Amino acid sequence: MGLSSSLLSLKLPFIRLLLLLLIATIRGVAGGCYTSIYSFGDSYVDSGNMQYLDADVFGCYVPPFGESYFHLPTGRCSNGRLIVDLTAELFGLPLPQPYLKTWNESVVNVQEGINFAVSGATVLDASFFEDIGSVVLTNVTLRYQLNWFKDFLVSLCNKSSECNKIIGSSIFLVGEMGGDDYNYMLFSGISLEDMPAYVALVVKAMATAINELIDLGAVNLLVPGILPIGCTPSYLTKYETEDTEEYDPETGCLIKYNKLAEYHNEQLQKELHSIQALNPQTNIVYADYYNASMGFFRSPAQYGFTREGTLKSCCGGGGPYNYNASLGCGQPSTILCDDPSQYVSWDGVHLTEAAYAWITVGLLQGPYTTPRLSTLCISENATKIQMTTHVNKSFSEH
């Protein structure tokens, strides 16, 4: 069984409070594992870099973005914190600052983590997308972000021993990435049947970046797979069809696009296993964002979501899924839900803070990391983070 019927009958504010308590409990045990967190990725990870590049390109810098936690837009494409923010909190670290903020403002605690992610960023180089005739939001690819990290190291430490100490005690969040690559490819006309060859290119490029980080001294790496794109309001809207066989009858998600995400994740895990075998001194953890979130669509009430809130965005431009590519969240006629904590999707593409929080807790408390993240730094305290039975089962059964 999942959450008990008595818990399900409680008001949602209490469920949100329970979630905060879960995170606080885990943080109390996990704190001190790492001294820094460095992250790379796209809009699922970006905490504000895009606004320093071109605020007009991307629309995450206007209300109601950030309304539920920061109470103002911060450049995060959500109503609150992202997985990178919540992960930092779990490990007792400050929220990693956007790298480009360090160019423009006086930033404290830069030695405790920096976020290099940029909304719209791809794994493959921008020239690839130019060749296929796709228009991208930014040319700041994963390679570009790695170069930023190298420049940052020069300012952070001037001795090899200092850098080795800082990097070796840090955790590197490499992703989520790859989703934008596939978006650009599919939206430019590449067929699903041809995608396996392109998945191989994306995964190989990610492997190259991970190997480079290891060569720079990275020891602890957390590498996420991509989310179930077939469940996002953007895909459900763009590829809406009357053919009921295209949809998973249990979740309402588009089957073939979720299979693309699953294939990417399978290939990524194979590559990570190979890298780990060649680098036994490193801790490479695969973060299964896909399955950590699929429980939302199968059993939404167990996570405080409504059935409507699984496939329909909280903030959008109307339509069956409250998503319109031409009328994004934050524009004057935006339709905004009353309670984002009841929704999985914030704006049709990105998730709500509530969804990110459940995924984050699931990564540490549930079975959604390989090897288990908790075994790397808190194995001696494992018994201290055992939550109530119904919460444990909600992660293990879904």
C-alpha dihedral sign at 234, 325, 268, 280 = negative
What gap in Å lies between CA 389 and CA 394, rounded to an integer? 9
CA 328 to chain centre: 20
**Which residue in 78, 170, 234, 350 is the catalytic one?**
350
Q: Which stretches within the chain are classed as H helix?
A: 5-8, 12-30, 49-54, 83-90, 101-104, 126-131, 142-156, 160-168, 179-187, 195-215, 233-238, 255-278, 289-298, 308-311, 353-365, 374-377, 389-396
Length of the chain: 398
335 sits in which H/E element: strand 335-336
347 is catalytic: yes
**Which residue in 43, 170, 299, 313 is the catalytic one?**
43
Cβ atoms of 226 and 265 closer than 8 Å: yes
Cβ atoms of 116 and 148 closer than 8 Å: yes
Catalytically annotated residues: 43, 347, 350
